[in-house]
Structure 1
Amino acid sequence: MKRLFSLLAAALLLAAPLSAQQRYTTRSASIDFFSDAPLEDISAKNTQVTAAIDLLSQQLAFVATMKDFAFPDGLMQAHFNENFVESEKYPRATFSGRLLGIPDGGLPTAGVVPVEVEGDLTIHGVKRRVRVPGTLEFIDKQLVAKAKFSVAPADYKIDIPSLIKEHIAKSVDITVYAVCSPQLAPPVSQQQAAPPTRP
């Protein structure tokens, strides 16, 4: 996961010129999902989601390891990983996209700013283009990102056993919450200097 986070941050670093306090990252964003169903409500939470947001290029990316979703019931968690999302075969869900709706003058340092996020959401090996609403807000110099949307398991080729298919909701509510810290450019003294030329 550490290597994955480094690659995620590096991808955004290459996307835009260096600029202090424009890139924000975290390794502890959370994703909750909930499905209200007649047979049994299904809920889980993952608090080890990696995220990177670049306000300069208006790009962002999230990576969630499927086995990090915690369920209130161990049997339900086993079914989720083994039978539904096939975590061994498809270990991660990812999102990569762009922010829409950032004011021309940049994100204000006070207040909640409504935005939209558009990009590729990959779950169970299936990539689909999505566009969802969200908000951004600065709190104590950290960037807080929130979003809520719904996902249909069928859209990602997640098969529900026929025995319980009629008792499971056709969509799942997803809630994303990320508190990201600024990632600053290294000091000039730490940057690689050109070797001196010989006289």
Structure 2
Amino acid sequence: MPYFWTALLLLAKRMIKHTFLCISILIFSHELRAQKVIARQGHVAFFSYTSVENIKAENNQVLGIVDLQHGDIAVSMLMNAFIFEKALMREHFNESYVESDIFPKATFEGTIQDFDVNQQEDQTRIVKGNFSMHGVTKELEIKARIEHINENYIISGTFEAVVKDYEIKIPPLLAGNIAKTVSVNFRFECLPYED
């Protein structure tokens, strides 16, 4: 009989340990999900100013995800999703400049420096990472504003992209129409990530 009680006690301890482990895994996985936010329709726009012609394009098909615990950020955008004022500009952009059939996406992977997930006030932080476009990857440091509203985050900012850094060839005839440096604006309204 004592063996029976010992076996029952061991079984009860294992069940308690197993139950505790299962609950811990569920809580931990929920916390991991809650620590990521995603923008499924982020906004990126660029502007090229010259005395000959201004070129502006906008893209609302940009995916961005942020790991709030570590401050890691990843962005992916389809190059052929940029909308221009003129259809001919869009055609030249996709076929001749960024060659979106060969290089369909631009990506950014980086880290928000000194990000404080617990801070309720707006934060201005430097985001360091690698921006890849047209088959070329460059390190960037971007100043970003981070707004924390309830469980949502809005990340916005501006940076300059030098056209020749990304091996984009501009025909000499059109060199006066396209700026050497293009201003890029972004805004991501990030919501809690759910599987």
TM-score bin, normalised by smaller chain: 0.7 to 0.9
The answer as to whether partners of 1:94 and 1:122 remain within 8 angstroms in 2 is yes
The normalised TM-score by structure 1 is: 0.79
Q: Determine which of 132, 138, 147 is the counterpart of 1:122.
A: 132
The normalised TM-score by structure 2 is: 0.81
Task: Tell me which residue corresponds to 1:19.
Answer: 32
Residues 10-49 of structure 1: pairs in structure 2 closer than 5 A:
18-19=31-32, 21-49=34-62
3-state SS in 2 of match to 1:87: coil
> Which 5+ residue runs of structure 2 have no aligned equivalent?
1-27
1:20 deviates by 5.0
- Amino acid in the other structure paired with 2:181: S
- Amino acid in the other structure paired with 2:122: V
Q: Determine whether 1:171 maps to 2:181.
A: yes
Q: Determine whether 1:65 maps to 2:78.
A: yes
- What's the Cα RMSD here? 1.7
1:167 deviates by 3.6
Task: Tell me which residue corresponds to 1:54.
Answer: 67
**Separation of aligned partners in 2, 1:117 and 1:100:** 6
1:22 deviates by 1.4
1:39 deviates by 1.3
Structure whose alpha-carbon radius of gyration is higher: 2
1:38 deviates by 1.3
3-state SS in 1 of match to 2:34: coil
**Separation of aligned partners in 2, 1:70 and 1:183:** 28
Residues 80-91 of structure 1: pairs in structure 2 closer than 5 A:
80-91=93-104
Note the alpha carbon deviations across 1:20-60, whole angstroms, 9 max, x for none. 53100021000000011111101000001001001101100
The answer as to whether partners of 1:101 and 1:114 remain within 8 angstroms in 2 is no
Task: Tell me which residue corresponds to 2:4.
Answer: none
Count of residue correspondences? 167
